[in-house]
Amino acid sequence: MSLLRRIAAPAAFTDPLAATRRRPAPSTQLALAAGVLATLAMPPLRGTGWFVVPALALLFGALQRAPSPARVGWWFGVAHQGTLLHWLFLLGPDATISSRWLIPAAAIAAILYAATYYLLFGWSAGLVRRRLGPTGLLLLAPPLWTAMEALRTVGELGFPWCLSGAAWLQTPLYPLAATAGELGLGAATALTAAALAALVPAVLAAGRPVRPTGAALALPVAAAAAWLALGVGAGGVPTAGRAPALRVAAVQADVSLHDKWFDATAKSTTEPYTELTAAAAREGADLVVWAETAVPAYLLQDKRLLAWVRAVADTNDVFLYTGYPDAALGADNRQERTNASGLFDPDGRLIDRYAKHHLLPFGERMPFQRWLPQLGKLDLGQAEWTPGRSPQPMTVAPDSLRALRIAGLICYESIFPSLARQAARDGAQALVNITNDGWFGKTAGPVQHAEMARLRAAETGLPVVRCANNGVSFITDGHGAVRARAGLGGRAVVAADVAPGDASTPFVRHGHVPLAFALAVWTIVVLAASLRARRREPA
C-alpha cells in the first residue's frame, strides 16, 4: 500500500489504548483529564509546558472513538478553562462588578463561553470523522485546532487567554513564536500531539505485529517539519543592534484600588509615584512608566493632578508615560470617555497620547454597542469607555541619538498578537504594556497575564516594558527574555536599558499567511489522499 493511501485509509486505525485494557475508558473522563493536564502546562507552573502534548494527544484520541465528539470537546473546554480561569472566582473586593454575588455567576459564564470554542472544535472533528474515519480525523485535527484558536483571537468577544502555544513560555522553545506567532507554536504542538496519538498503538503493542497506519507515518514527519520551519524562521531574526539604549524604569506603586479614587486618601496614590519616580531618576532613568489609570481622575480636566504630573516630569527631568481616564467631545458632540495614556516630556508637556482600542467586554464596555447602542444602558458595573484608535508609535527623546518609538498596549490588549504586530509594522521599536491587575488579587491571573506579554516580544522582536500597579512588572529584550522584574505585590522600581528593537521577524512581515498556507496544503493533501483511497476501494 502506498504512503498516500496509508495516510487516509480509515481501516488502518488502531485504538491507541486497546493493548492496555479490555474496555475503553469513557471518553468524557479522558476529555476531563486532558483538560486538566492542559492547564498544568500553563503559567504560573514551571517545567510542565510539555504536558500540553499528551493533553492534546488524549483529546484527539478521545475524539476518534467517542460517540459524541462535540461532547468530548465541550468537557475538555470546561475542564481546561475551569481550572485555568479558577481565579475568576477569587476576584478581589475592588473588581468592577456592581454586585458581589455576580462574581461567581460572571466567572461561570466566562468559563462556559470559553468552553464553547472547544465544543465547536469537537463538533467539526465529528464531521470530519464521519467523512474520513478516525484516521482522517487525526490527520486533520491540527488544522482544525489551529482554526479554533485563531477564532479565539478575533471579535469583540475574542478571548485568546493562554492559547496552547503559551505552554512553551517556560521552555527554551517560546522564541520560535517569531516565525508564525503564538498560533504557529500551537499548530506545531497540535501536530506533535496528533503524531503521539498515532504512534501510541505501535508502542503499546508489546512486540506484537502492528501494521503502521498512514497517520503514524505522516504525522511525525509533519510535526518535525513544523518545528524545523519554526526554528529556521526564528534563527534568522537579527539580534539587538548597537543603537544607543534608553534607560527605562517601570514604577510598581502597589496603591489601593479603592483609596485612589477618593480625595481624602489621594496621597496614598500620589506619594508613592512621586517618591518612586524620584528614585528612578536618581538611577539614571530617561523614561519612567506608570501603570494603567495611575492618575485616578480625568487628568486633562483636573488642574491639580495635571500640575502634579507635570511637576514630577519636570522636577526629575524625565519623560513620563502614564495611564489616566480621559474625556472629550466626539464627532456627534457626545462625551466620549476613554481608558487613556499620555507621554509627557521633561518640561511637563503632554506630547502624545493613546486610548485603549480593544476594550474588555462587560468590564470596560458592553459588547456589540455599535449595532445595539441600548446595550450600554445595562449596568453590570462596567466603565463604559469608548474605544480609541489602534496603537500608534510615540517618540521618546525625539531630539536625541537615543530616540525610541514606543507603542502602548493597555491591560487586556497584550494578549492579542495582532495589536502588537500592527504596532511593530507601524514603526514601534518597543512595546509598553501598562495594566492594573489589582482586581485579580494574589492569584494565578496576574502571572498568566504577564507571561503572555513576553510572547508579544518574541513575536515582534521588540522589547516589552510592562508596568503593573501591583505586579507583575518587568522589562524584556526583543526575544522575550526578562532583564528586570518585580513580582506580585510590593513597591518597586524595575529599570533596564532598552535598545530599539528590530521588528523584522517573519511574524511581523507575514503574519499568519505562511501558517495558513501550510495548513491549507496539508488539508488538501489529506483530502486528496482520502478521495483517491475511496476510489480504489472495491465496489
Q: What letter does residue 431 receive in the DSSP assignment?
A: E
Helix axes 102-151, 177-204, angle to 10 degrees: 90
CATH class of 246-504: alpha beta
Dig out the grid coordinates for 192 from the structure.
506533535
User: Considering only CA atoms, which of 441, 443, 525 is closest in space to residue 219?
Assistant: 525
CA-based radius of gyration for the chain: 25
Give start-end residues of each CATH 3.60.110.10 domain in the chain.
246-504
Q: What is the pLDDT along the chain (539 residues), one digit of tens a residue?
A: 444 444 444 444 445 444 444 454 588 999 999 999 999 999 999 999 999 999 999 999 999 999 999 999 999 999 999 999 999 998 766 555 545 677 888 899 999 999 999 999 999 999 999 999 999 999 999 999 999 999 999 998 999 999 999 999 999 999 999 999 999 999 999 999 999 999 886 555 545 555 556 667 789 999 999 999 999 998 877 666 567 889 999 999 999 877 776 666 677 789 999 999 999 999 999 999 999 999 988 999 999 999 999 999 999 999 999 999 998 866 666 778 899 999 999 999 999 999 999 888 876 766 766 766 666 556 555 567 788 887 789 999 877 778 999 999 999 899 999 999 999 999 999 999 999 988 888 899 999 999 999 999 999 999 999 999 998 999 999 999 999 999 999 999 999 999 999 888 999 999 999 999 999 999 999 998 888 777 666 65
Q: For 34-84, give the DSSP string.
A: HHHHHHHTSTT--S-GGGHHHHHHHHHHHHHH-S-HHHHHHHHHHHHHHHH
Catalytic residues: 292, 356, 411
